[in-house]
């Protein structure tokens, strides 16, 4: 298994096609363009892809998982999209999304190592809380990885779940609506934070 931060156009296109395979072909999501248009890199992206960290996992030379992480300083966007309150503006947030894993790898080490890698990168960049939004299909996977659900929202007639992972796991935060999370990676927090200091 090889986990890489990807930024060259050829490899990025492969990751975006993996997104398409998981979200459109397998799960029937409609937020990406139709397959007949998916011939150009730009057509598989949205505006947030330009600034995001793109992570991919290769197994046997094949891309089997991808996610992106956006380091966010636009609190107005976070408040509107994720229901954060003004007193939570003091924290540093990242949004993890477009987490796509081929079905045969979803109960393997792949999602664990993907989450660990982006978690460690977040620590080095000073992120305190990771946010993610999911449907019912992926919610159990995220909760298994250490995310906690704090809010349900409705989008396009479907229930979506908003979850968070608190990176600074020994530091209490205000309990509205986010509560402290003690993740599977607690033992590494301070060492990684010190390395990033």
Report pLDDT digits (tens) over 23-43.
878 877 765 555 455 445 555
Q: What is the mean pLDDT of residues 35-53?
A: 66
Decide if pLDDT at 152 tops 90.
yes
- Report how many domains make up the chain: 1
Q: How far apart are CA 31 and CA 82, in angstroms?
A: 19
Tokens of 166: 């608190």
- Give the residue with greater pLDDT, 179 vs 89: 89
pLDDT category at 182 given cuts 50, 70, 90 is very low
- Give the residue with greater pLDDT, 189 vs 93: 93
All residues at 6 or more sequence positions from 62 whose CB lies less than 8 Å from its CB, including other chains:
none
- Within 10 angstroms of residue 179's Cβ, the number of other Cβ atoms is 13
In this structure, of 60-74, 79-93, 146-160, 165-179, the range with the lowest mean pLDDT score is 165-179
| Predicted pLDDT of residue 19 | 87
Q: Name residue 48's beta-bridge partners.
A: none
CATH number of the structural domain spanning residue 25 = 3.40.630.30
User: Highest mean pLDDT: which of 29-38, 61-70, 146-155?
Assistant: 61-70
| Predicted pLDDT of residue 23 | 82
pLDDT category at 91 given cuts 50, 70, 90 is confident
- pTM (predicted TM-score): 0.75
Range of the domain at 56: 2-196
Q: How far apart are CA 140 and CA 67, in angstroms?
A: 17
């Amino acid at each position: 298994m090889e986990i890489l931060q990807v930024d060259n156009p050829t490899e990025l296109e492969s990751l975006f096609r993996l997104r398409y395979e998981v979200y459109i072909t397998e799960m029937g999501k409609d937020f990406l363009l139709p397959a007949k248009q998916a011939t150009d890199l730009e057509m598989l992206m949205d505006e947030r892809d330009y600034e995001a960290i793109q992570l991919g996992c290769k197994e046997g030379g094949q891309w089997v998982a991808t996610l992106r992480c956006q380091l966010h300083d636009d609190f107005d966007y976070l408040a509107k999209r994720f229901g954060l309150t003004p007193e939570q503006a003091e924290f540093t947030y990242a949004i993890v999304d477009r987490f796509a894993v081929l079905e045969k790898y979803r109960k393997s080490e792949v999602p664990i190592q993907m989450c660990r890698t982006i978690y460690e990168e977040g620590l080095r960049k000073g992120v305190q809380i990771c946010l993610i939004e999911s449907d019912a299909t992926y919610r159990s996977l995220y909760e298994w990885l250490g995310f906690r659900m704090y809010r349900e929202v409705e989008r396009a007639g479907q229930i979506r779940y908003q979850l968070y992972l608190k990176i600074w796991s020994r530091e209490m935060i205000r309990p509205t609506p986010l509560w402290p999370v003690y993740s599977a990676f607690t033992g590494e927090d301070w060492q990684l934070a010190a390395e990033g200091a």
